[in-house]
Structure 1
Protein backbone atom coordinates (compact mmCIF):
# COMPACT_ATOMS: atom_id res chain seq x y z
CA UNK A 1 0.00 0.00 0.00
CA UNK A 2 2.91 2.35 0.76
CA UNK A 3 4.24 2.11 -2.78
CA UNK A 4 0.74 2.63 -4.19
CA UNK A 5 0.17 5.84 -2.22
CA UNK A 6 3.65 7.10 -3.07
CA UNK A 7 3.06 6.39 -6.76
CA UNK A 8 -0.29 8.16 -6.64
CA UNK A 9 1.20 11.27 -5.01
CA UNK A 10 4.13 11.40 -7.45
CA UNK A 11 1.82 10.98 -10.46
CA UNK A 12 -0.60 13.62 -9.16
CA UNK A 13 2.28 16.08 -8.72
CA UNK A 14 3.48 15.27 -12.25
CA UNK A 15 0.02 15.98 -13.64
CA UNK A 16 -0.24 19.25 -11.71
CA UNK A 17 3.16 20.29 -13.02
CA UNK A 18 2.12 19.41 -16.55
CA UNK A 19 -1.08 21.46 -16.49
CA UNK A 20 0.70 24.41 -14.87
CA UNK A 21 3.29 24.80 -17.62
CA UNK A 22 0.85 24.27 -20.50
CA UNK A 23 -1.80 26.52 -18.97
CA UNK A 24 0.83 29.01 -17.82
CA UNK A 25 2.26 29.53 -21.30
CA UNK A 26 -1.25 29.78 -22.71
CA UNK A 27 -2.03 32.55 -20.21
CA UNK A 28 1.23 34.32 -21.12
CA UNK A 29 -0.34 34.73 -24.55
CA UNK A 30 -3.64 35.94 -23.09
CA UNK A 31 -2.04 38.62 -20.87
CA UNK A 32 0.50 39.91 -23.37
CA UNK A 33 -0.65 43.49 -22.69
CA UNK A 34 -0.80 43.15 -18.90
CA UNK A 35 1.66 44.69 -16.46
CA UNK A 36 4.86 43.29 -15.00
CA UNK A 37 3.17 41.99 -11.84
CA UNK A 38 0.97 39.60 -13.83
CA UNK A 39 3.79 38.44 -16.07
CA UNK A 40 6.08 37.83 -13.10
CA UNK A 41 3.37 35.73 -11.46
CA UNK A 42 3.07 33.59 -14.60
CA UNK A 43 6.84 33.19 -14.87
CA UNK A 44 7.01 31.89 -11.31
CA UNK A 45 3.94 29.71 -11.88
CA UNK A 46 5.60 28.03 -14.85
CA UNK A 47 9.01 27.76 -13.18
CA UNK A 48 7.58 26.09 -10.09
CA UNK A 49 5.55 23.74 -12.27
CA UNK A 50 8.58 22.74 -14.33
CA UNK A 51 10.74 22.20 -11.25
CA UNK A 52 8.07 20.09 -9.55
CA UNK A 53 7.67 18.18 -12.81
CA UNK A 54 11.35 17.24 -13.00
CA UNK A 55 11.38 16.06 -9.38
CA UNK A 56 8.01 14.26 -9.44
CA UNK A 57 8.64 12.49 -12.76
CA UNK A 58 12.02 11.24 -11.56
CA UNK A 59 10.60 10.23 -8.19
CA UNK A 60 7.74 8.33 -9.84
CA UNK A 61 10.20 6.21 -11.81
CA UNK A 62 12.28 5.32 -8.75
CA UNK A 63 9.14 4.55 -6.74
CA UNK A 64 8.17 2.03 -9.43
CA UNK A 65 11.67 0.56 -9.22
CA UNK A 66 11.22 0.15 -5.47
CA UNK A 67 7.77 -1.36 -5.88
CA UNK A 68 9.05 -3.98 -8.34
CA UNK A 69 12.16 -4.69 -6.29
CA UNK A 70 10.19 -5.34 -3.08
CA UNK A 71 13.25 -4.80 -0.86
CA UNK A 72 12.20 -1.65 0.96
CA UNK A 73 13.46 1.87 0.31
CA UNK A 74 16.87 0.64 -0.81
CA UNK A 75 15.07 -1.16 -3.62
CA UNK A 76 14.49 2.21 -5.30
CA UNK A 77 18.18 2.15 -6.24
CA UNK A 78 18.38 -1.48 -7.36
CA UNK A 79 20.62 -1.17 -10.44
CA UNK A 80 19.30 -4.34 -12.05
CA UNK A 81 15.68 -3.23 -11.73
CA UNK A 82 16.57 0.31 -12.84
CA UNK A 83 18.16 -1.09 -15.99
CA UNK A 84 15.13 -3.25 -16.74
CA UNK A 85 12.52 -0.53 -16.19
CA UNK A 86 14.60 2.11 -17.97
CA UNK A 87 14.16 0.06 -21.16
CA UNK A 88 10.40 -0.27 -20.70
CA UNK A 89 7.57 2.08 -21.60
CA UNK A 90 7.72 3.43 -18.05
CA UNK A 91 11.39 4.32 -18.45
CA UNK A 92 10.93 6.02 -21.81
CA UNK A 93 7.86 7.94 -20.60
CA UNK A 94 9.65 9.11 -17.45
CA UNK A 95 12.69 10.20 -19.45
CA UNK A 96 10.53 12.13 -21.92
CA UNK A 97 8.79 13.94 -19.07
CA UNK A 98 12.03 14.88 -17.34
CA UNK A 99 13.42 16.19 -20.64
CA UNK A 100 10.21 18.10 -21.33
CA UNK A 101 10.12 19.82 -17.95
CA UNK A 102 13.83 20.65 -18.23
CA UNK A 103 13.29 22.19 -21.66
CA UNK A 104 10.72 24.49 -20.07
CA UNK A 105 12.77 25.27 -16.98
CA UNK A 106 15.93 26.24 -18.85
CA UNK A 107 14.65 29.00 -21.19
CA UNK A 108 12.17 30.55 -18.79
CA UNK A 109 14.79 30.71 -16.02
CA UNK A 110 17.27 32.31 -18.42
CA UNK A 111 14.74 34.78 -19.80
CA UNK A 112 13.56 35.69 -16.32
CA UNK A 113 16.98 37.06 -15.32
CA UNK A 114 16.66 40.73 -14.54
CA UNK A 115 12.89 40.76 -15.02
CA UNK A 116 10.94 43.05 -14.67
CA UNK A 117 13.79 45.50 -15.33
CA UNK A 118 14.05 44.05 -18.82
CA UNK A 119 11.06 42.91 -20.84
CA UNK A 120 10.74 39.22 -21.63
CA UNK A 121 10.45 38.21 -25.26
CA UNK A 122 10.50 34.66 -26.55
CA UNK A 123 12.31 34.09 -29.81
CA UNK A 124 11.95 31.19 -32.20
CA UNK A 125 14.34 28.93 -30.29
CA UNK A 126 12.56 29.40 -26.95
CA UNK A 127 9.14 28.84 -28.52
CA UNK A 128 10.52 25.77 -30.30
CA UNK A 129 11.73 24.29 -26.98
CA UNK A 130 8.39 25.01 -25.33
CA UNK A 131 6.44 23.34 -28.16
CA UNK A 132 8.75 20.32 -28.10
CA UNK A 133 8.29 19.99 -24.34
CA UNK A 134 4.50 20.01 -24.72
CA UNK A 135 4.64 17.36 -27.42
CA UNK A 136 6.98 15.19 -25.34
CA UNK A 137 4.64 15.34 -22.36
CA UNK A 138 1.64 14.44 -24.52
CA UNK A 139 3.59 11.64 -26.21
CA UNK A 140 4.69 10.17 -22.87
CA UNK A 141 1.10 9.23 -22.07
CA UNK A 142 0.96 7.00 -25.15
CA UNK A 143 3.98 4.98 -24.00
CA UNK A 144 2.46 3.38 -20.91
CA UNK A 145 -0.76 1.71 -19.81
CA UNK A 146 -3.49 0.28 -22.01
CA UNK A 147 -3.13 3.08 -24.58
CA UNK A 148 0.36 1.85 -25.49
CA UNK A 149 -1.22 -1.38 -26.73
CA UNK A 150 -3.74 0.38 -28.99
CA UNK A 151 -3.43 1.66 -32.54
CA UNK A 152 -1.83 4.98 -33.42
CA UNK A 153 -5.20 6.78 -33.50
CA UNK A 154 -5.68 6.20 -29.78
CA UNK A 155 -2.14 7.40 -29.08
CA UNK A 156 -2.81 10.65 -30.89
CA UNK A 157 -6.14 10.94 -29.06
CA UNK A 158 -4.52 10.66 -25.62
CA UNK A 159 -2.00 13.32 -26.63
CA UNK A 160 -4.71 15.75 -27.74
CA UNK A 161 -6.73 14.91 -24.63
CA UNK A 162 -3.80 15.66 -22.33
CA UNK A 163 -2.99 18.98 -24.00
CA UNK A 164 -6.64 20.09 -24.04
CA UNK A 165 -7.25 19.38 -20.36
CA UNK A 166 -3.92 21.01 -19.51
CA UNK A 167 -4.83 24.22 -21.35
CA UNK A 168 -8.07 24.41 -19.43
CA UNK A 169 -7.14 23.32 -15.91
CA UNK A 170 -3.71 24.94 -16.03
CA UNK A 171 -5.28 28.32 -16.76
CA UNK A 172 -7.50 28.37 -13.68
CA UNK A 173 -4.96 29.55 -11.10
CA UNK A 174 -3.70 32.41 -13.34
CA UNK A 175 -7.28 33.46 -14.14
CA UNK A 176 -8.13 33.43 -10.43
CA UNK A 177 -5.09 35.62 -9.80
CA UNK A 178 -6.14 38.03 -12.55
CA UNK A 179 -9.46 38.54 -10.78
CA UNK A 180 -7.48 39.97 -7.86
CA UNK A 181 -5.11 42.32 -9.67
CA UNK A 182 -6.38 43.16 -13.16
CA UNK A 183 -8.55 46.12 -14.12
CA UNK A 184 -12.17 45.10 -14.67
CA UNK A 185 -12.25 46.18 -18.34
CA UNK A 186 -9.04 44.32 -19.17
CA UNK A 187 -10.11 41.30 -17.12
CA UNK A 188 -13.31 41.08 -19.11
CA UNK A 189 -11.41 41.17 -22.41
CA UNK A 190 -9.01 38.46 -21.22
CA UNK A 191 -11.88 36.26 -20.04
CA UNK A 192 -13.77 36.77 -23.28
CA UNK A 193 -10.71 35.74 -25.27
CA UNK A 194 -10.21 32.73 -23.03
CA UNK A 195 -13.85 31.74 -23.56
CA UNK A 196 -13.49 31.97 -27.34
CA UNK A 197 -10.38 29.78 -27.38
CA UNK A 198 -11.81 27.42 -24.77
CA UNK A 199 -14.48 26.35 -27.24
CA UNK A 200 -11.74 24.82 -29.37
CA UNK A 201 -9.86 22.89 -26.71
CA UNK A 202 -13.05 21.79 -24.93
CA UNK A 203 -14.25 20.35 -28.24
CA UNK A 204 -10.90 18.55 -28.64
CA UNK A 205 -11.16 17.33 -25.04
CA UNK A 206 -14.64 15.87 -25.54
CA UNK A 207 -14.01 14.31 -28.96
CA UNK A 208 -10.68 12.75 -27.98
CA UNK A 209 -12.19 11.50 -24.71
CA UNK A 210 -15.11 9.84 -26.49
CA UNK A 211 -12.76 8.21 -28.99
CA UNK A 212 -10.58 6.86 -26.17
CA UNK A 213 -13.64 5.46 -24.41
CA UNK A 214 -14.61 3.56 -27.54
CA UNK A 215 -11.09 2.19 -27.88
CA UNK A 216 -10.53 1.26 -24.23
CA UNK A 217 -13.92 -0.28 -23.40
CA UNK A 218 -15.01 -3.53 -25.01
CA UNK A 219 -18.59 -3.01 -23.84
CA UNK A 220 -20.55 -0.14 -22.24
CA UNK A 221 -21.36 -2.45 -19.33
CA UNK A 222 -17.73 -2.12 -18.24
CA UNK A 223 -18.53 1.42 -17.10
CA UNK A 224 -20.54 0.03 -14.20
CA UNK A 225 -19.10 -3.47 -13.78
CA UNK A 226 -15.37 -2.76 -13.36
CA UNK A 227 -13.32 -0.55 -11.01
CA UNK A 228 -11.83 1.05 -14.12
CA UNK A 229 -15.25 1.94 -15.52
CA UNK A 230 -16.60 3.28 -12.24
CA UNK A 231 -13.53 5.48 -11.83
CA UNK A 232 -14.03 6.74 -15.38
CA UNK A 233 -17.60 7.69 -14.51
CA UNK A 234 -16.31 9.70 -11.55
CA UNK A 235 -13.85 11.48 -13.83
CA UNK A 236 -16.60 12.18 -16.38
CA UNK A 237 -18.75 13.63 -13.59
CA UNK A 238 -15.89 15.93 -12.60
CA UNK A 239 -15.29 17.05 -16.18
CA UNK A 240 -19.04 17.64 -16.60
CA UNK A 241 -18.98 19.87 -13.51
CA UNK A 242 -16.07 21.80 -15.02
CA UNK A 243 -18.01 22.19 -18.27
CA UNK A 244 -21.02 23.53 -16.36
CA UNK A 245 -18.95 26.06 -14.43
CA UNK A 246 -17.08 27.07 -17.58
CA UNK A 247 -20.35 27.63 -19.43
CA UNK A 248 -21.67 29.65 -16.48
CA UNK A 249 -18.59 31.86 -16.60
CA UNK A 250 -18.78 32.41 -20.35
CA UNK A 251 -22.54 32.93 -20.71
CA UNK A 252 -23.39 34.79 -17.51
CA UNK A 253 -20.55 35.90 -15.25
CA UNK A 254 -18.10 37.34 -17.81
CA UNK A 255 -20.77 39.47 -19.58
CA UNK A 256 -21.72 40.85 -16.13
CA UNK A 257 -18.19 41.96 -15.25
CA UNK A 258 -19.15 45.57 -14.66
CA UNK A 259 -18.18 46.10 -11.00
CA UNK A 260 -16.49 44.48 -8.01
CA UNK A 261 -19.53 42.31 -7.31
CA UNK A 262 -19.23 40.82 -10.79
CA UNK A 263 -15.51 40.18 -10.21
CA UNK A 264 -16.25 38.49 -6.87
CA UNK A 265 -18.83 36.21 -8.49
CA UNK A 266 -16.40 35.23 -11.24
CA UNK A 267 -13.59 34.66 -8.76
CA UNK A 268 -15.82 32.41 -6.66
CA UNK A 269 -16.82 30.37 -9.72
CA UNK A 270 -13.18 29.92 -10.78
CA UNK A 271 -12.35 28.89 -7.22
CA UNK A 272 -14.97 26.14 -7.46
CA UNK A 273 -13.46 25.10 -10.79
CA UNK A 274 -10.05 24.79 -9.12
CA UNK A 275 -11.49 22.50 -6.44
CA UNK A 276 -13.18 20.29 -9.04
CA UNK A 277 -10.07 20.30 -11.25
CA UNK A 278 -7.98 19.10 -8.31
CA UNK A 279 -10.35 16.16 -7.83
CA UNK A 280 -10.23 15.37 -11.56
CA UNK A 281 -6.42 15.33 -11.49
CA UNK A 282 -6.39 12.99 -8.47
CA UNK A 283 -8.83 10.65 -10.23
CA UNK A 284 -6.68 10.79 -13.37
CA UNK A 285 -3.59 9.97 -11.32
CA UNK A 286 -5.46 7.00 -9.86
CA UNK A 287 -6.55 5.82 -13.31
CA UNK A 288 -3.07 6.08 -14.81
CA UNK A 289 -1.21 4.68 -11.80
CA UNK A 290 -3.19 2.13 -9.82
CA UNK A 291 -5.54 0.99 -12.58
CA UNK A 292 -3.33 1.73 -15.58
CA UNK A 293 -5.26 3.48 -18.33
Structure 2
Protein backbone atom coordinates (compact mmCIF):
# COMPACT_ATOMS: atom_id res chain seq x y z
CA UNK A 1 0.00 0.00 0.00
CA UNK A 2 1.32 3.41 -0.95
CA UNK A 3 2.18 5.49 2.08
CA UNK A 4 0.18 8.65 2.43
CA UNK A 5 3.07 11.02 1.90
CA UNK A 6 3.95 9.35 -1.40
CA UNK A 7 0.36 9.78 -2.49
CA UNK A 8 0.37 13.50 -1.71
CA UNK A 9 3.76 13.90 -3.37
CA UNK A 10 2.32 12.26 -6.48
CA UNK A 11 -0.64 14.65 -6.36
CA UNK A 12 1.68 17.66 -6.16
CA UNK A 13 3.82 16.53 -9.09
CA UNK A 14 0.70 15.87 -11.15
CA UNK A 15 -0.64 19.37 -10.52
CA UNK A 16 2.74 20.82 -11.50
CA UNK A 17 2.63 18.66 -14.62
CA UNK A 18 -0.83 20.02 -15.50
CA UNK A 19 0.48 23.56 -15.05
CA UNK A 20 3.59 22.89 -17.12
CA UNK A 21 1.59 21.56 -20.07
CA UNK A 22 -0.78 24.53 -19.78
CA UNK A 23 2.16 26.95 -19.84
CA UNK A 24 3.59 25.28 -22.95
CA UNK A 25 0.37 24.82 -24.93
CA UNK A 26 -1.35 28.04 -23.90
CA UNK A 27 1.87 29.99 -24.26
CA UNK A 28 2.44 28.67 -27.77
CA UNK A 29 -1.11 29.56 -28.77
CA UNK A 30 -0.82 33.10 -27.39
CA UNK A 31 2.58 33.51 -29.00
CA UNK A 32 0.92 33.23 -32.40
CA UNK A 33 -2.21 35.10 -31.33
CA UNK A 34 -0.13 38.07 -30.14
CA UNK A 35 2.79 37.75 -32.55
CA UNK A 36 2.58 41.37 -33.72
CA UNK A 37 3.29 42.71 -30.22
CA UNK A 38 7.05 42.56 -29.73
CA UNK A 39 6.78 43.69 -26.12
CA UNK A 40 4.86 40.50 -25.30
CA UNK A 41 6.82 37.99 -27.36
CA UNK A 42 9.83 37.60 -25.08
CA UNK A 43 7.74 37.22 -21.94
CA UNK A 44 5.61 34.55 -23.63
CA UNK A 45 8.73 32.69 -24.75
CA UNK A 46 9.99 32.75 -21.16
CA UNK A 47 6.57 31.54 -20.02
CA UNK A 48 6.79 28.54 -22.37
CA UNK A 49 10.36 27.87 -21.24
CA UNK A 50 9.30 27.86 -17.59
CA UNK A 51 6.54 25.41 -18.51
CA UNK A 52 9.01 23.08 -20.22
CA UNK A 53 11.30 23.27 -17.20
CA UNK A 54 8.47 22.52 -14.78
CA UNK A 55 7.39 19.64 -17.00
CA UNK A 56 10.87 18.12 -16.93
CA UNK A 57 11.05 18.49 -13.14
CA UNK A 58 7.57 17.07 -12.51
CA UNK A 59 8.02 14.15 -14.91
CA UNK A 60 11.42 13.20 -13.54
CA UNK A 61 10.35 13.68 -9.94
CA UNK A 62 7.15 11.73 -10.59
CA UNK A 63 9.21 8.78 -11.80
CA UNK A 64 11.37 8.72 -8.68
CA UNK A 65 8.39 9.27 -6.38
CA UNK A 66 6.81 6.20 -7.95
CA UNK A 67 10.04 4.30 -7.27
CA UNK A 68 9.97 5.53 -3.67
CA UNK A 69 6.37 4.39 -3.23
CA UNK A 70 7.30 0.91 -4.44
CA UNK A 71 10.39 0.64 -2.26
CA UNK A 72 8.59 2.23 0.72
CA UNK A 73 11.87 2.73 2.57
CA UNK A 74 11.80 6.50 2.88
CA UNK A 75 13.44 9.12 0.70
CA UNK A 76 16.39 6.86 -0.09
CA UNK A 77 13.98 4.42 -1.69
CA UNK A 78 13.50 6.89 -4.56
CA UNK A 79 16.86 5.83 -5.98
CA UNK A 80 16.59 2.12 -5.26
CA UNK A 81 18.41 0.54 -8.25
CA UNK A 82 16.33 -2.64 -8.17
CA UNK A 83 13.02 -0.84 -8.50
CA UNK A 84 14.43 1.62 -11.03
CA UNK A 85 15.51 -1.29 -13.22
CA UNK A 86 12.08 -2.89 -12.87
CA UNK A 87 10.11 0.28 -13.62
CA UNK A 88 12.10 1.41 -16.66
CA UNK A 89 11.29 -1.93 -18.30
CA UNK A 90 7.53 -1.54 -17.93
CA UNK A 91 5.06 0.41 -20.11
CA UNK A 92 4.62 2.89 -17.26
CA UNK A 93 8.36 3.42 -17.09
CA UNK A 94 8.55 3.95 -20.85
CA UNK A 95 5.90 6.66 -20.62
CA UNK A 96 7.72 8.48 -17.82
CA UNK A 97 11.04 8.32 -19.65
CA UNK A 98 9.55 9.39 -22.99
CA UNK A 99 7.72 12.30 -21.37
CA UNK A 100 10.85 13.44 -19.53
CA UNK A 101 12.92 13.29 -22.72
CA UNK A 102 10.26 15.23 -24.62
CA UNK A 103 10.21 17.96 -21.99
CA UNK A 104 14.02 18.05 -21.90
CA UNK A 105 14.24 18.52 -25.67
CA UNK A 106 11.46 21.10 -25.56
CA UNK A 107 13.32 22.99 -22.85
CA UNK A 108 16.50 22.86 -24.93
CA UNK A 109 14.63 24.20 -27.95
CA UNK A 110 13.21 27.10 -25.95
CA UNK A 111 16.53 27.97 -24.28
CA UNK A 112 18.24 28.07 -27.67
CA UNK A 113 15.38 30.19 -28.98
CA UNK A 114 15.72 32.68 -26.15
CA UNK A 115 19.51 32.87 -26.43
CA UNK A 116 19.37 33.52 -30.16
CA UNK A 117 16.89 36.31 -29.46
CA UNK A 118 14.87 35.48 -32.56
CA UNK A 119 11.20 36.20 -32.12
CA UNK A 120 10.02 34.24 -35.14
CA UNK A 121 9.43 30.49 -35.09
CA UNK A 122 10.55 28.84 -38.31
CA UNK A 123 8.53 26.02 -39.86
CA UNK A 124 11.16 23.53 -38.68
CA UNK A 125 11.09 24.87 -35.12
CA UNK A 126 7.30 24.83 -35.06
CA UNK A 127 7.27 21.26 -36.37
CA UNK A 128 9.77 20.10 -33.75
CA UNK A 129 7.72 21.83 -31.06
CA UNK A 130 4.53 20.04 -32.14
CA UNK A 131 6.25 16.66 -32.48
CA UNK A 132 7.65 16.93 -28.95
CA UNK A 133 4.24 17.91 -27.64
CA UNK A 134 2.49 14.80 -28.99
CA UNK A 135 3.99 12.22 -26.56
CA UNK A 136 3.55 14.66 -23.67
CA UNK A 137 -0.17 15.07 -24.33
CA UNK A 138 -0.78 11.40 -25.11
CA UNK A 139 1.06 10.29 -21.95
CA UNK A 140 -1.89 11.40 -19.81
CA UNK A 141 -4.04 8.67 -21.34
CA UNK A 142 -1.44 5.98 -20.66
CA UNK A 143 -1.10 6.36 -16.91
CA UNK A 144 -3.44 6.02 -13.96
CA UNK A 145 -7.12 5.13 -13.93
CA UNK A 146 -7.67 5.88 -17.63
CA UNK A 147 -4.94 3.60 -18.98
CA UNK A 148 -7.37 0.70 -19.45
CA UNK A 149 -9.91 2.66 -21.46
CA UNK A 150 -10.44 2.07 -25.18
CA UNK A 151 -8.25 3.78 -27.77
CA UNK A 152 -11.11 6.12 -28.67
CA UNK A 153 -11.48 7.15 -25.03
CA UNK A 154 -7.74 7.73 -24.76
CA UNK A 155 -7.81 9.92 -27.86
CA UNK A 156 -10.76 11.88 -26.44
CA UNK A 157 -8.90 12.34 -23.17
CA UNK A 158 -5.78 13.53 -25.00
CA UNK A 159 -7.82 16.08 -26.94
CA UNK A 160 -9.46 17.16 -23.69
CA UNK A 161 -6.05 17.67 -22.07
CA UNK A 162 -4.82 19.60 -25.11
CA UNK A 163 -7.72 22.06 -25.30
CA UNK A 164 -7.88 22.42 -21.51
CA UNK A 165 -4.18 23.29 -21.48
CA UNK A 166 -4.68 25.75 -24.31
CA UNK A 167 -7.42 27.57 -22.44
CA UNK A 168 -5.89 27.51 -18.96
CA UNK A 169 -2.43 28.31 -20.24
CA UNK A 170 -3.69 31.29 -22.22
CA UNK A 171 -4.95 33.08 -19.14
CA UNK A 172 -1.63 34.47 -17.93
CA UNK A 173 -0.57 35.82 -21.36
CA UNK A 174 -4.04 37.35 -21.76
CA UNK A 175 -3.80 38.93 -18.32
CA UNK A 176 -0.42 40.37 -19.25
CA UNK A 177 -1.85 41.57 -22.56
CA UNK A 178 -4.63 43.42 -20.74
CA UNK A 179 -1.94 45.32 -18.84
CA UNK A 180 0.49 45.93 -21.71
CA UNK A 181 -1.81 47.05 -24.52
CA UNK A 182 -5.06 48.97 -24.47
CA UNK A 183 -7.85 50.41 -26.55
CA UNK A 184 -8.90 48.93 -29.86
CA UNK A 185 -5.84 46.63 -30.25
CA UNK A 186 -6.71 44.98 -26.93
CA UNK A 187 -10.35 44.73 -27.92
CA UNK A 188 -9.41 43.13 -31.24
CA UNK A 189 -7.14 40.47 -29.70
CA UNK A 190 -9.65 39.61 -26.99
CA UNK A 191 -12.38 39.39 -29.60
CA UNK A 192 -10.30 36.96 -31.66
CA UNK A 193 -9.51 34.89 -28.58
CA UNK A 194 -13.18 34.85 -27.61
CA UNK A 195 -14.18 33.46 -30.99
CA UNK A 196 -11.54 30.73 -30.80
CA UNK A 197 -12.38 30.04 -27.15
CA UNK A 198 -16.02 29.36 -28.03
CA UNK A 199 -14.85 26.56 -30.33
CA UNK A 200 -12.37 25.32 -27.71
CA UNK A 201 -15.03 25.17 -25.00
CA UNK A 202 -17.27 23.10 -27.25
CA UNK A 203 -14.52 20.53 -27.78
CA UNK A 204 -13.60 20.63 -24.10
CA UNK A 205 -17.14 19.88 -22.97
CA UNK A 206 -17.75 17.19 -25.59
CA UNK A 207 -14.54 15.29 -24.87
CA UNK A 208 -14.74 15.78 -21.11
CA UNK A 209 -18.35 14.60 -20.93
CA UNK A 210 -17.58 11.54 -23.06
CA UNK A 211 -14.67 10.47 -20.87
CA UNK A 212 -16.67 11.18 -17.69
CA UNK A 213 -19.50 8.93 -18.90
CA UNK A 214 -17.01 6.13 -19.50
CA UNK A 215 -15.48 6.51 -16.04
CA UNK A 216 -18.63 7.17 -14.03
CA UNK A 217 -20.81 4.34 -15.23
CA UNK A 218 -23.83 4.96 -13.00
CA UNK A 219 -25.41 7.63 -10.84
CA UNK A 220 -24.49 5.81 -7.63
CA UNK A 221 -20.80 6.26 -8.42
CA UNK A 222 -21.41 9.98 -8.67
CA UNK A 223 -23.30 10.41 -5.40
CA UNK A 224 -21.90 7.63 -3.22
CA UNK A 225 -18.14 7.66 -3.78
CA UNK A 226 -15.31 10.02 -2.92
CA UNK A 227 -14.46 10.21 -6.61
CA UNK A 228 -18.01 11.28 -7.40
CA UNK A 229 -17.94 13.98 -4.71
CA UNK A 230 -14.64 15.28 -6.03
CA UNK A 231 -15.97 15.21 -9.57
CA UNK A 232 -18.97 17.32 -8.55
CA UNK A 233 -16.66 19.85 -6.87
CA UNK A 234 -14.65 19.97 -10.08
CA UNK A 235 -17.85 20.54 -12.07
CA UNK A 236 -18.72 23.45 -9.80
CA UNK A 237 -15.40 25.10 -10.64
CA UNK A 238 -15.81 24.26 -14.34
CA UNK A 239 -19.28 25.81 -14.52
CA UNK A 240 -18.01 28.86 -12.62
CA UNK A 241 -15.11 29.43 -15.00
CA UNK A 242 -17.37 28.95 -18.03
CA UNK A 243 -19.81 31.56 -16.72
CA UNK A 244 -16.98 33.97 -15.96
CA UNK A 245 -15.45 33.44 -19.40
CA UNK A 246 -18.83 34.09 -21.02
CA UNK A 247 -19.23 37.27 -18.97
CA UNK A 248 -15.77 38.43 -20.03
CA UNK A 249 -16.59 37.76 -23.68
CA UNK A 250 -20.03 39.34 -23.81
CA UNK A 251 -19.66 42.19 -21.33
CA UNK A 252 -16.04 43.30 -21.00
CA UNK A 253 -14.67 42.63 -24.49
CA UNK A 254 -17.10 44.91 -26.39
CA UNK A 255 -16.16 47.76 -24.02
CA UNK A 256 -12.37 47.38 -23.97
CA UNK A 257 -11.78 50.64 -25.80
CA UNK A 258 -12.45 52.25 -22.41
CA UNK A 259 -9.49 51.94 -19.98
CA UNK A 260 -11.61 51.17 -16.92
CA UNK A 261 -13.04 48.05 -18.56
CA UNK A 262 -9.55 46.84 -19.44
CA UNK A 263 -8.69 47.08 -15.75
CA UNK A 264 -11.84 45.20 -14.80
CA UNK A 265 -11.02 42.52 -17.37
CA UNK A 266 -7.56 42.15 -15.87
CA UNK A 267 -9.10 41.45 -12.46
CA UNK A 268 -11.62 39.04 -13.98
CA UNK A 269 -8.84 37.08 -15.70
CA UNK A 270 -6.98 36.81 -12.40
CA UNK A 271 -10.09 35.29 -10.84
CA UNK A 272 -10.42 32.99 -13.85
CA UNK A 273 -6.83 31.87 -13.24
CA UNK A 274 -7.73 31.08 -9.63
CA UNK A 275 -10.69 28.99 -10.77
CA UNK A 276 -8.48 27.25 -13.31
CA UNK A 277 -5.96 26.37 -10.62
CA UNK A 278 -8.80 25.03 -8.46
CA UNK A 279 -9.86 22.77 -11.33
CA UNK A 280 -6.33 21.42 -11.72
CA UNK A 281 -5.92 20.87 -7.98
CA UNK A 282 -9.24 19.03 -7.80
CA UNK A 283 -8.50 16.95 -10.90
CA UNK A 284 -5.14 15.93 -9.46
CA UNK A 285 -6.81 15.06 -6.17
CA UNK A 286 -9.55 12.81 -7.55
CA UNK A 287 -7.20 11.04 -9.98
CA UNK A 288 -4.35 10.53 -7.51
CA UNK A 289 -5.46 10.67 -3.89
CA UNK A 290 -8.99 9.30 -4.32
CA UNK A 291 -9.09 7.29 -7.53
CA UNK A 292 -12.13 5.63 -9.03
CA UNK A 293 -13.29 2.22 -7.90
What TM-score does the superposition give when structure 2 sets the normalisation length?
Answer: 0.94
Q: Which runs of 5+ in 2 are unaligned?
A: none
CA RMSD, Structure 1 to Structure 2 (Å): 1.4
Q: 1:173 to 1:291 in 2, by over 3 A?
A: same
In 2, the alpha carbon distance for the partners of 1:288 and 1:9 equals 12
Corresponding residue to 2:30 among 3, 27, 30: 27
Corresponding residue to 2:6 among 3, 20, 41: 3
Q: Are positions 1:217 and 2:216 aligned together?
A: yes
Q: Are positions 1:49 and 2:51 aligned together?
A: yes
In 2, the alpha carbon distance for the partners of 1:210 and 1:292 equals 18
In 2, the alpha carbon distance for the partners of 1:72 and 1:197 equals 48
Q: Match of 1:170, SS?
A: helix
> What are the equivalent positions in structure 2 for 1:237-252 lying under 5 Å apart?
237-252=236-251
> What are the equivalent positions in structure 2 for 1:1-293 lying under 5 Å apart?
1-35=4-38, 37-115=39-117, 119-292=118-291
Q: 1:275 to 1:137 in 2, by over 3 A?
A: same
Give the stretch that moved more between structures: 101-110 or 172-181. Answer: 101-110
What TM-score does the superposition give when structure 1 sets the normalisation length?
Answer: 0.94
Q: 1:91 to 1:292 in 2, by over 3 A?
A: farther
Give the stretch that moved more between structures: 89-98 or 195-204. Answer: 89-98
Q: Match of 1:18, SS?
A: helix
Count of aligned pairs between the two proteins? 289
Which is richer in helix?
A: 2
In 1, the alpha carbon distance for the partners of 2:12 and 2:274 equals 17
Give the stretch that moved more between structures: 84-93 or 20-29. Answer: 84-93
Q: Match of 1:146, SS?
A: helix
Q: Match of 2:160, SS?
A: helix
Q: 1:163 to 1:181 in 2, by over 3 A?
A: same
In 2, the alpha carbon distance for the partners of 1:114 and 1:83 equals 39
Q: Match of 1:16, SS?
A: helix
